[in-house]
Structure 1
């Protein structure tokens, strides 16, 4: 009998996780039995599984400390992928400061914690978002003519107990797009390029979190930046999606390192589902 794994989701999702059935089928092809369970379902016996692969825990943003504690508990009874140390580090976007300190080219970021003076960017176009969140939730793009509204947005984040982060908007996103580069087991799997998420007209995310995605072949420079970001994580992640943008000089910068529950754009890369499951089976000590 093959090993038994669980694909970890959430009791409530903002959108369906269309990749769960794809990965269950890939697991079956690899001789693994794969269940689906929610991280916030207290009835799940996690010790029944040989590995727990986090996929769509998309409600953890509102309860990040509880989620971090859950990762510690589950990693004590089974193999958690990615690891609890990686998840704890990646669940708060202050990790961008760690990437910068490690020499990884990163979008410049200023952090404003509750109670601190609200000092905003002097760029004509900048973004304010919380350090805990996903899918551009709570993110707003401000232009020169509406920048006076930014302190109010920061104050609203502070009122929720959230630290705000301020970044100059990387204007090349509007015509060059944003790259999402995916690695499994340290090896490049595939990439897509998508349109800008934050509207120039409204400053907020539209109906689609991933506008107009298309397959993409990263440059050598983009691969180098993505690999450097993966290497800076506390532990080597099994999977990672590195979201990159180009600066004014055309050089890649890390906007986010998605090492917890990213959509992996499997539909754009035939065989990517099998590559992820194969990388899982190759983990040291798996015995599969």
Structure 2
């Protein structure tokens, strides 16, 4: 009987991106029937790969319920559900800060002007970056400068909670290094370089993406992150700023839910990912 794999998109962006067409083609050549549909539209499938669930942060309660339904139905998943739930909320960075160098991160579960200003005063941070505790694709990621802005941030954007970090100016120069791993083995890496005058390394802000060879320091940090997890994810992307002149790597994110894997930037990447998927299916 043919194995079915539900490659999820989302209702906000229901179409599969062109750079995953080859992935679908190679899986079907190996006898896997691929169903492409939003995660919100339930499909009967043996396995699910939420690689394009790019709106879950806007529907986090529904997404958690969907994960629970997968567990109840016994649907096969490629990264453990407990790891996915942990990775949804960016306070996972507090755990990883015990392992590698992470951009200093403070969580405000119930952000308000008093708590925010008290934090800025306590840390003596003049320029900070604000991110939703549960967020994707740079949405509601803003920069706030204590000396230049009189208006406080709009805290209504952060109903899930707020991450506050000092602004790391080096990202303007070095961009963000993204390293992709399959079963803990390094596959390929890209640099996401913001345009001049921009600092957010997301596709929504005109970032340039190109293949690179990561530094030994960046690769070692990424391996430390993955080895620290309770279980090795089948696919993962580790992002950070590789400050080459200072010889250190600042972790920005670990993504094990729906990372852009940039398979089109490396010749063997799609084949490697297909093989990892097939191995997982065969092991059950």
TM-score, normalised via structure 1 length: 0.86
Separation (CA, whole Å) in 2 of partners of 1:272 and 1:126:
36
Give the direction of change, closer, same or farther, for the CA distance of 1:181–1:205 in structure 2 (3 Å limit). closer
Among 215, 218, 224, the alignment partner of 1:219 is: 215
Separation (CA, whole Å) in 2 of partners of 1:226 and 1:115:
31
Gaps of 5+ in 2: none
Q: Please report how far the alpha carbon of residue 223 of structure 1 lies from its aligned counterpart in structure 2 after TM superposition.
A: 1.1
Q: Please report how far the alpha carbon of residue 38 of structure 1 lies from its aligned counterpart in structure 2 after TM superposition.
A: 1.8
Counterpart of 1:134 in structure 2 is 136
Separation (CA, whole Å) in 2 of partners of 1:148 and 1:27:
54
Q: Secondary structure at the match of 2:77?
A: strand
Separation (CA, whole Å) in 1 of partners of 2:32 and 2:93:
36
Which structure features the higher share of helix residues? 2
Q: Please report how far the alpha carbon of residue 15 of structure 1 lies from its aligned counterpart in structure 2 after TM superposition.
A: 8.0
Counterpart of 2:24 in structure 1 is 24
Separation (CA, whole Å) in 2 of partners of 1:70 and 1:206:
26
Q: Secondary structure at the match of 2:236?
A: strand
Give the direction of change, closer, same or farther, for the CA distance of 1:206–1:56 in structure 2 (3 Å limit). closer
Q: Secondary structure at the match of 2:160?
A: coil
Separation (CA, whole Å) in 1 of partners of 2:178 and 2:94:
20
Contact 1:85 1:235 in 2 (8 A): no
- Residues 236-269 of structure 1: per-residue CA shift (max 9 Å, x gap): 1110111111358340021010110011111111
Counterpart of 1:249 in structure 2 is 246
What aligned pairs does 1:65-144 form with structure 2 within 5 A after superposition? 65-76=61-72, 77-101=74-98, 103-114=99-110, 117-118=115-116, 119-120=119-120, 122-143=124-145
Separation (CA, whole Å) in 2 of partners of 1:33 and 1:16:
15
Separation (CA, whole Å) in 2 of partners of 1:115 and 1:107:
20
Separation (CA, whole Å) in 1 of partners of 2:185 and 2:4:
24
Counterpart of 1:191 in structure 2 is 189
Gaps of 5+ in 1: none
Q: How many residues align?
A: 276
Separation (CA, whole Å) in 1 of partners of 2:200 and 2:224:
30
Give the direction of change, closer, same or farther, for the CA distance of 1:204–1:177 in structure 2 (3 Å limit). closer
Separation (CA, whole Å) in 1 of partners of 2:202 and 2:231:
34
- Residues 202-234 of structure 1: per-residue CA shift (max 9 Å, x gap): x77887356111111012211111112222334
What aligned pairs does 1:140-219 form with structure 2 within 5 A after superposition? 140-143=142-145, 145-149=147-151, 151-153=152-154, 155-158=155-158, 161-196=159-194, 200=197, 208-209=204-205, 211-219=207-215
Q: Secondary structure at the match of 2:90?
A: coil
Counterpart of 1:10 in structure 2 is 10
Q: Please report how far the alpha carbon of residue 8 of structure 1 lies from its aligned counterpart in structure 2 after TM superposition.
A: 1.5
Q: Please report how far the alpha carbon of residue 115 of structure 1 lies from its aligned counterpart in structure 2 after TM superposition.
A: 5.5
